[in-house]
Structure 1
Amino acid sequence: MKILTIQELKEKNYPGSQITIEQELGKKEGYHAYLVSYQSEGLKIYGYLTVPAGKKPPKGWPAILFNHGYIPLDKFKTDRQYVRYLAHLAKAGYVVFKPDFRGHGQSEGEPSGNFESGYAIDAINALESLKKLPAVNPDRIGVWGHSMGGHITLKVLLVKPEIKAAVIWAAKYQSISPVSFIHELNMPIQLHHGLLDERIPTSRSEEFKEVLEKLGKSVELYLYPEGNHNLSGPELKIAMDRSVKFFNQFL
């Protein structure tokens, strides 16, 4: 698939679809988990969905679209990667939807790479599908992205400015097309980055924060002394607690 400009992405239609439960993955501690599917450009895209246990609020649960980072296709498992992240958000009272972008897991289509547009289109259709879910309050949706998923998240934010807040971990901003549209970002953004990251230098997040601040945007950055490209141990919990607090404030 060719690389679409931000303007071309904005002009596309994103109907989303009904989210279909393919398999119940059981009740976890404080939430239910499901293998689900939805439609994106005629492709059947699978994903991991969590719904908090307990009584649904009158207007529905707040929700988070969760954009995964790069994972080698031969190691990709829907219910394996990011499970601790998803559980943390789910236990905090959020519906969380992690789509498996085209070509990943059981999802149809060819993997397109993060600089092409297929993954962003899948993410935006996932967002529109999430809004249709009866359990979700469509006016309280945030976006979370890690690494490649951070790049995808920026595109989602530019195409769908109604998003209330976004959390981005260890992403590269300067060499991708959304950087020239950053002035359009009006939602609060929280950044996280490990100081030991060997894939994407911490300076990328520091520079991005500086650009946003100069534009008068709401942004905060947290750095983790022991953190690599993926956080772990106590730092992972600290980062997730900060993410939950941030979403609680703005969603």
Structure 2
Amino acid sequence: MRKYIRYLLVTVVFAFLGWIGNDYYRSRLNTSPNPISVIKSRPLEKYAVENLSKALIPSAPVSIEETLKENADYTSYLISFKFDPTFSGREEKKVTGLMNIPTGKGPFPLIVMFRGYVDQEQYQTGDGTRRAAEFFAEKGFITVAPDFLGYAGSDKEAGSIFESRFQTYTTTLTLINSVNSISAWDSKNIFLWGHSNGGQIALTVLEITETDYPTVLWAPVSKPFPYSILYYTDESDDRGKLIRRELSKFEEDYDVELFSLTNYLDRVNGPIQLHQGTIDDAVPTAWTDSLVDKLKELEIDVSYIKYPGADHNLNPSWSRAIENSMTFFKKHLN
């Protein structure tokens, strides 16, 4: 009898230990990471400079929505085009912009223009480029300036502040690829003009496309990403808290070096003319000095004009700066 009881107890103990072990094993299975589940989606990788350079750039008809102004020298139009800013076959969005077409018998050369920062609530189509665009149009150049997503009559921008930034590149790439739909264009001359953050857009597009578009840059933002954003965070209502928080998340998943224009300057092929005011309080003169030095080291065709006592908008030397820009564009006409 004792023998039987002993055998029964041993059996029960082993059964209990087996149950405990099985339960522990199952719990480990449930808590161990599934290799497939830990692979993070990185949807913004497609906007890295190298990846955009390999992307299939769409084209879209540039449509005239409204005639805004007409005079003896040119006509101003509200334009729009639709495209998928993610380049992934998803929902198309509309981007509006301002186009000036010279009066007279064409065809005409074309300048794509990019503005600097303007508050979304105050922005109107053409702000930041209008004055320069009208000057160029008077001289016989078509000008096209996109508003970008989230501005004026354009559709809503992306939910991510960084994707919104990167989609200024896809907007620009699509627009340049769509100028064939502008019947007054001469089909051979495309120039770029950018001011402030618009200069950053122009430089990045030159790197992505590796094309030789002659380009004029006024006080361009040319520091590495994301420093080029963080530098201005004290101007935001929350002193940059949102941007820093979102940047921290971004850096967990992405290598910021892949998105920084300073790492791809060797891909720039076209001639560049740089303009900088010496009392610019938005883009330090040292930034443009450094950019010019790097471009010269890479043996890129660059000319640099400084305007003593001029501010971020090159006032009071605006007239001289716009004339110098016009001379540069005419020099590089085909």
- Report TM bin, short chain: over 0.9
Counterpart for residue 64 of structure 1: 111
Counterpart for residue 210 of structure 1: 293
- C-alpha deviations, 1:12-49, integer Å up to 9, x for none? 22212111111001213411110010123111000000
How far residue 80 of structure 1 moved from its aligned partner, in angstroms, is 4.3
**When you count helix as a share of all residues, which structure comes out higher?**
2
How far apart, CA to CA, are the structure 1 residues paired with 2:147 and 2:52? 20
Counterpart for residue 170 of structure 2: 121
Question: Is 1:173 matched with 2:243?
Answer: no
Normalised TM-score (structure 1) = 0.92
Among residues 99, 102, 105, which one is paired with 1:52 in the alignment?
Answer: 102
Question: Is 1:27 matched with 2:67?
Answer: no
Among residues 300, 305, 322, which one is paired with 1:222 in the alignment?
Answer: 305
Counterpart AA for 1:97: V
Normalised TM-score (structure 2) = 0.70
Distance 1:87 1:217, change over 3 A: same
Question: Is 1:185 matched with 2:268?
Answer: yes
Does the CA-based 8 Å contact 2:195-2:220 persist in structure 1? yes
How far residue 220 of structure 1 moved from its aligned partner, in angstroms, is 0.8
The runs of 4+ residues in structure 1 deviating greater than 4 Å are 111-115
Counterpart for residue 277 of structure 2: 194
Counterpart AA for 1:65: V
Which is bigger in relative contact order (C-alpha 8 A, separation at least 6)? 1
- C-alpha deviations, 1:134-193, integer Å up to 9, x for none? 111232101111111111101211222334300111112231312111112111001111
How far residue 110 of structure 1 moved from its aligned partner, in angstroms, is 1.4
How far apart, CA to CA, are the structure 1 residues paired with 2:163 and 2:272? 21
Counterpart AA for 2:176: L
Percent of counterpart pairs with the same letter? 28
Counterpart AA for 2:66: Q
Counterpart for residue 141 of structure 2: 94
Size of the alignment, in residue pairs?
Answer: 247
How far apart, CA to CA, are the structure 1 residues paired with 2:330 and 2:163? 29
Distance 1:110 1:130, change over 3 A: same
Counterpart for residue 237 of structure 1: 319
How far residue 115 of structure 1 moved from its aligned partner, in angstroms, is 8.2
How far apart, CA to CA, are the structure 2 residues paired with 1:72 and 1:114? 18
Distance 1:29 1:238, change over 3 A: farther
Does the CA-based 8 Å contact 1:101-1:107 persist in structure 2? yes
Structure showing greater Rg: 2
Gaps of 5+ in 2: 1-42, 85-91, 226-259
How far residue 113 of structure 1 moved from its aligned partner, in angstroms, is 5.7
